[in-house]
Structure 1
Amino acid sequence: MTTTWKGFINASVSAISFGLIPLFTVPVLASGMPATSVLVYRYAAGCAVMLVLLMAGRTRMSLRFGDSLRILLLSLLYAVSSVVLIESYNHLASGIATTLLFSYPVWTLLLSVVFLHERLSAMTTLAIVVAVAGVSCLSGAFDGGRLQSLTGALLATASGLCYAVYMVAFPRMRIRRMPSLKVTFYIFFFTMMLMMLYALFVEGRIRPVGSMPNLVNLVLLGLLPTALSNVTLIFSLKQISSTTAAILGAFEPMTAMGVGILVFGEPFTLPVVLGFALILVSVLILVLCKKGVK
């Protein structure tokens, strides 16, 4: 298997597992836990899972001071992206916010072209346009949805921009040569600390877990959409371009919508079918475009 195909698979696994967030988050939110506390537990559980694996592999955990600053910068981008997305839900319908968040493939492409002088491929641009159109269909933008707040739109778009900067910056940093599990652990550890400060500032405290079902959901939230998703994302960023990985991120809302339909009984409408089809087409365009790459 070529490096490119491994990158495709890792990016797809990352996006699909990330799309499982609603499966474990919605029941915890329904129990009354605020989103800020959920984020703290999400990153804490992810750190715990990865720390066990790192200890089992006897990985050296030391960090250089410069590497710590680089990881802190990435963690800040990750934390800000999470926080502003949550805040956007206070102003926008979640479907519209999801569409605006998925502006990050566009931002990734623009950042790569402007700052890294990456060649703008017509096929890559087409894949982005088709993927964004597919996510728009899934979000409800073509099914009666409308923009309700400029503030919410700016927050959701800022979330996508922060995530794009994260995806473009990581492959160019020295820490990309660190073991993927180790660097992901430290990114999440610093993100958890930042989220704890934010939760204490906004809520005044971090809510207790409260019940065994909440604990199970939070552990799974830390394991699948957090640890697995981000480790495979970092693997993919070492194997394919940031732009390609971002386009494959279209599997995130596709998976989330599938969970909503199959688990939470959300409607399966014609725009949803069209959204699924467009996302698959965008991935097919990428595969055909990269077919000859070794």
Structure 2
Amino acid sequence: MRKKGILLCAFSAMSFGFVPLFTKVVMQEGLDVVAIGFFRFLGLGLFSLGMIRLQKRPFSIEIKRFPAIVADSFFQVVTMLLLSASYLFIPTGNATSLHFMYPVFVFLILYLYYKNHFSGMQWLALVLCAAGIVCFIDFDNMNNWIGMGIAIASGLTYAIYMVILDKQGLAQIDPFVLSFIGCVLETVFLAILGLGMGSFHLSLNASGVLSLVILAGLSVCGTLLLQVGTRYIGSGMASLFCLFEPLTSLICGWMILKDPLRWGSVLGCLLIFGGILLILKPPKRSQMKKIKWIKK
């Protein structure tokens, strides 16, 4: 199950890693981040509902889980809005790099609030991954504290989203049912916000429509795989394997968009891969009783 969870989280991250590429195409057609988010969540919700009906899955959840679903949906939407707002103050690459410090917040929340214990190898993996993300930052353009604060805040809200998904038992709910309920809440919120802001100007050409459909598809893969993967390995380890997302975005930008590749980014990739390799190796059997893994 551990290997399955790792693979699911890694593929989820790689799916999300393609999102910036297609988001850029759609934004060039005139849609803002609120409208894009609305259509992404709408596509995910419709797909989830279709799978529920097609497979005749039981559409039921415990009432006590509903407040956690509302909270998780709220933090997911706020994360998207905060990260997008940070782009107004600092370069998108820097904002994204600061956002991906969220594994640090996940570990701290689990350690300080939930009293989870981690092995020395896991802490070392976290340090290497965090150092790798720092290498992605272009410090010459890091001169706006407001933008930096907003980007870091987006990482904190996403960390809370992941911890709630794990610790409040949401990852144990049928992923299609959970996604559908969450998407209903998220699309209603974004629809109200978008109508107030005048976000819905539908003048997309064929390329824009195709990119929007692909964005919805990537959201389907990324969200559902993350939910199931977190069920198997917990939010701590899942947050580290989610770092395949910036690596995918970096490679995509370099190969497809012809973005320049900095040496710092290359070093960052090596550090992140090094950190991930440390936690890919399972502990020896003699140490299994001594080590309390993130997922209990």
Q: What is the TM-score of this pair, normalised by structure 2? A: 0.90
Paired position in structure 2 for 1:135? 133
Range with greater deviation from structure 2 (54-63 or 154-163) = 54-63
- 1:259 Cα shift? 0.9
- Cα gap change, 1:291 to 1:192, in 2 (>3 Å): farther
1:210 aligns with 2:198: no
The 2-side partners of 1:291 and 1:261 are apart by: 39
1:284 aligns with 2:282: no
SS in 1 for 2:40: helix
1:189 aligns with 2:184: yes
CA contact (8 A) 2:90 2:141 kept: no
The 1-side partners of 2:162 and 2:141 are apart by: 29
1:222 aligns with 2:220: no
- Cα gap change, 1:291 to 1:214, in 2 (>3 Å): farther
- Cα gap change, 1:42 to 1:139, in 2 (>3 Å): farther
Range with greater deviation from structure 2 (281-290 or 214-223) = 281-290
SS in 2 for 1:240: helix
CA contact (8 A) 1:11 1:232 kept: yes
Amino acid at match of 1:158: A
- Cα gap change, 1:84 to 1:68, in 2 (>3 Å): same
The 2-side partners of 1:45 and 1:263 are apart by: 25
Task: Show CA shifts across 1:217-259 (max 9, x none).
Answer: 11111111x1111111111111112111111111111000111
Partner of residue 199 from structure 1, selected from 191, 194, 199: 194
Paired position in structure 2 for 1:14? 12
- Cα gap change, 1:29 to 1:52, in 2 (>3 Å): same
Amino acid at match of 2:30: G
- Cα gap change, 1:205 to 1:253, in 2 (>3 Å): closer
The 1-side partners of 2:130 and 2:63 are apart by: 39
Structure 1: stretches of 5+ with no match in the other structure = none
Amino acid at match of 2:226: L
Structure 2: stretches of 5+ with no match in the other structure = none
1:253 aligns with 2:253: no
The 2-side partners of 1:198 and 1:176 are apart by: 28
SS in 1 for 2:200: coil
Task: Show CA shifts across 1:42-99 (max 9, x none).
Answer: 1112222222222211123345544333211110010111111111111111111112
Q: What is the TM-score of this pair, normalised by structure 1? A: 0.91
CA contact (8 A) 1:99 1:132 kept: no
- Cα gap change, 1:177 to 1:243, in 2 (>3 Å): closer
Partner of residue 84 from structure 2, selected from 86, 91, 97: 86
Paired position in structure 2 for 1:32? 30
Amino acid at match of 1:127: A
- Cα gap change, 1:59 to 1:209, in 2 (>3 Å): farther
The 2-side partners of 1:151 and 1:176 are apart by: 34
The 1-side partners of 2:195 and 2:144 are apart by: 27
Fraction of identical pairs, as percent: 26
SS in 1 for 2:113: helix
Paired position in structure 1 for 2:143? 148
The 2-side partners of 1:209 and 1:278 are apart by: 43
The 2-side partners of 1:290 and 1:54 are apart by: 38
SS in 2 for 1:44: helix
- 1:289 Cα shift? 5.0
CA contact (8 A) 2:22 2:211 kept: yes
1:240 aligns with 2:233: yes
Q: CA RMSD in A?
A: 1.9
- 1:30 Cα shift? 1.3
1:98 aligns with 2:96: yes
